[in-house]
Chain A
Amino acid sequence: MVSHEDPAPVVRFLRVSRHFGEVRAVDDVSLDILDGEFFSMLGPSGSGKTTCLRLIAGFDRPTGGRIELHGSAADRLPPYERDVNTVFQDYALFPHMTVAENVAYGLMIRKVPPAERDRRAAEMLDLVRLPGVASRRPAQLSGGQRQRVALARALINRPSVLLLDEPLGALDLKLRQQMQIELKSIQERLGITFVYVTHDQEEALAMSDRLAVFHNGRIEQVGTPAEVYEKPATSFVAEFVGISNLLHGAAATSLTGSPVPFTIRPEKIRLVEADAATPEGVCSAAGTIREVVYLGMHTRYLVEIDGGTMLTVVEQNREATAVDVHAARGRPVRLAWSRAQNRPVGEGR
C-alpha cells in the first residue's frame, strides 16, 4: 500500500482492558486493524480473543483504555449503532424465521421495502452459494448451510468490519477447509475487513493477512503468518503456532555456546548418520530415537539428545516406508540444522 498518509485504522485498541473482578480477560491490549485486511486473533481458549471481538461488536465494554472505530471513540456506542456485524460461533439464527427472513433481518430493521429486501437477500444467498433454501427454517439446514446463512445475514448490511467468532469450529475437516477458501475469496471480493477469532493455528496461518497471538489476556505477537511462524517473538508463540523445540540452559549452551534460549522448528532439523561431520554454521547433537509416529505424508521422531532433552523432528517420507521408520526406534542418530534457523526467544511475560 503506497500512501503518503496512513489512513486511520478501522479498529484501534488503545491500552484496552476488560477485567471481570479478579479475572483479567483482556489486559492492556493495544492493536491496530487496517482497512480491508483479513486479521486473525489466535489463541487458546480463555486467552481473551473472543472478549476482544465482543468489545469491537459492542456486546461488552472495556473496563480500561479506549476503542476506536474509523478513528472515533466507540466505547459508548451500542451494538446497533456500530458499522460492524458478527458471525456467531453458534450461528445465532432466529429459529422462528425463514432463511430469507433471517438474512433480510438487518434490512427489515432499517425499514428497507420488502421487494428490495427479497432481492438483496437472494443476492447474499447466491454470494454464499446457498440458493434455493430461502423459504426453509434454520432447523431444516445442515451445520454447513447454517454457517453460510449466518454469513449472508451478517454481510447484508454491508458492514465495514465483519467479526467472525470461530465460525468453522463446528464443521468437519473437509467442510472447514472448503469454507476457509470461500471465506477468503468472499473477503477479497467484498474488500471488507475481516476479524477472525480462532484457536486453530493452521487456519490462522492459511487465511490471515496478519494475525495476533493471544495469551492470558495479552497479545504476545502481531505479524504476518510468515513472521509469526518464522520469527516467533516469545516461547509461547513458538509453541502455540506450529510445533517448536525450546532449548535453554545447558542444552542451549552446548549447542550455541550461549545460554540464550532459542527455538528450532522440527522440520528444519535433519537426521544424519551418527558419525557425520559437522560443517561450519551447523548445530549438531548426537542422540537416540526414542519414539516414532508415522503420519503417512511424514514421520515425527522424538529424539533424546545427550543431556536428556527431547527434540521433535519431522521428516517427509520421500523414500522411507512405514516399516523403515518404525525400525528406526532406538537407533543412535545425529541431528543437524542450520544455525541460522535458531530463533532466540524471550521467555514470555
Chain B
Amino acid sequence: MRRRPLSTFLFLRPRLTLALLLAPALLWLGVVYLGSLLSLVIQSFFHLDGFTGRVVRQFSLETWGDLLTPANLDIVVRTVTMAATVTVAAALLAFPLAYYMARYATPRIKAALALGVLLPLWSSYLVRVYSWKLILAREGVVSWFVEQARLTWLLDRLLALPVIGGPSLSVSSIGTFLAFLYVWLPYMILPIEAALERVPGSLLEASGDLGARPAQTFRRVTLPLAFPGVVAGSIFTFSLTLGDFIVPGALGNSSLFIGQAVLAHQGTAGNIPLAAAFTMIPMTIMAVYLALAKRLGAFDAL
C-alpha cells in the first residue's frame, strides 16, 4: 500500500485541517471586510477643515452634525421609502410566480422559469439600467404603446403628480421605481420559491380537509410558512435599493439617494468623513431590519 504522509498527518489533526480551510475566508472577512467597515466608522468621526479642505484626523462630532440636516434627512427618507416600496411591490409580483414554480410547474417548466428569472443577471447591470432609460424615455417604447392604446392622457396625469411625477417616465421617481423593481425582482423570487418548496403539499390538503377554503388556507398555512422566505427576499431587495446609486442616477429626477450622496461627498466634494458618516445610515437601518428579520425566522429560509 502506498503511504500518504500528508493525508494521514491531516487526518489525525482535524482541528488543524479545519483551521487551514477556514483561514483564507476568515482573513478576508476579518481583515478586508470588517477592517474596512471599522475604518469607515473611524473616518466618520473625522471632519473637513472648512478653509483648507483637508481632513482633520481628530475625534469630533462635527461631521455627524453636518449629516443630520434637513436636506440630508430628506435623502434618507426618500431612499428608505423607495426601498420599502420596491420591496413590497417585488414581494407581490414574486409570490404568484414562486408559488407556481414550487407547487404546479413540472420539472422542465420549473427549470425554464428559474433560467428566465436568472437570465437577466447574466448581462451587465449597467446595460440593463440604461436600457430602461431608453424604454421609459418620452420617445421610448412604453410611450408608444400608451399612445397606441390612446391612454396618453392617463400617462400625462400620472406624470403630473407631485413628488413621483416628472417630465417623462425616465426622469421621474416612477421610472426609478420600475428599474429598481426590475433589477431586484430575481432576489425576491428565489427565496420565496425555496420557502414554498419546503411546505409539504399535505399541509395544504389537511387545511382544506378541515374545512378551510383556499383563501383561508393561504392566510392560515401557506403565507405564515412562506413568510421567512419573503423576509429573506426583502433583505436583498431592501438593502440593495438602499445602497444603489446607478439606478437613481440613470433614471429619475435630480433628487439624490443615499448612494449618490456618498458618491458625491467622497468624489467631487472630497468630504470623505461625511461620505463615511452617510454610509453608516443604511448600515444602521439594515442592522435594525436584520434584527427584526431574525425574530421573524427569516434566516431559517436562507
Q: How large is the interface on B (under 10, 10 to 19, 20 to 34, 35 or more residues)?
A: 10 to 19
With contacts A80-B208, A80-B213, A110-B211 taken as known, whether A96 is within 8 angstroms of B202 at the C-beta atoms is no
- CB closest residue in chain B, given A78: B208
A152: shortest Cβ distance to chain B, in Å? 12
With contacts A79-B205, A96-B224 taken as known, whether A90 is within 8 angstroms of B210 at the C-beta atoms is no
Contacts of A78 in B (CB 8 A): 208
Q: In chain B, residues 197-254, which have Cβ atoms closer than 8 Å to a Cβ of chain A?
A: 200, 202-203, 205-213, 216, 220-221, 224-225
- CB closest residue in chain B, given A150: B206
**Which one of A58, A90, A94 has the greatest number of beta carbons of chain B within 10 Å?**
A94
Q: Is the CB of B203 within 8 A of A79?
A: no
Once bound together, how far apart are the Cα atoms of A90 and B203, in whole Å?
9
- CB closest residue in chain B, given A88: B202
- CB closest residue in chain B, given A156: B210
Which residue of the partner chain, among B205, B224, B225, contacts A92 with CB atoms under 8 Å? B205
Which residue of the partner chain, among B208, B209, B211, B221, contacts A94 with CB atoms under 8 Å? B221
Q: In chain A, residues 72-106, which have Cβ atoms closer than 8 Å to a Cβ of chain B?
A: 78-80, 84-86, 88-90, 92-96, 105-106
**Dominant SS among interface residues on chain B:** helix
| Interface: A153 (CB within 8 A) | yes
Q: Is the CB of A79 within 8 A of B200?
A: no
Once bound together, how far apart are the Cα atoms of A135 and B203, in whole Å?
20
With contacts A59-B205, A90-B200, A92-B200 taken as known, whether A109 is within 8 angstroms of B212 at the C-beta atoms is yes
Contacts of B216 in A (CB 8 A): 109
B221: shortest Cβ distance to chain A, in Å? 6
Contacts of B206 in A (CB 8 A): 86, 88, 92-94, 153
| Interface: A57 (CB within 8 A) | yes
| Interface: A157 (CB within 8 A) | yes
Knowing that A86-B209, A105-B210, A105-B212 touch, tell me 16 more A-B residue pairs with CB under 8 angstroms. A57-B209, A59-B209, A79-B205, A79-B208, A80-B210, A80-B211, A88-B205, A90-B200, A92-B202, A92-B206, A94-B203, A94-B206, A94-B221, A105-B220, A109-B210, A157-B210
The 5 closest A-B pairs by CB, nearest first: A92-B202, A106-B210, A92-B206, A79-B208, A109-B211
Q: Which residues of chain B have a CB within 8 Å of any CB of chain A?
A: 200, 202-203, 205-213, 216, 220-221, 224-225
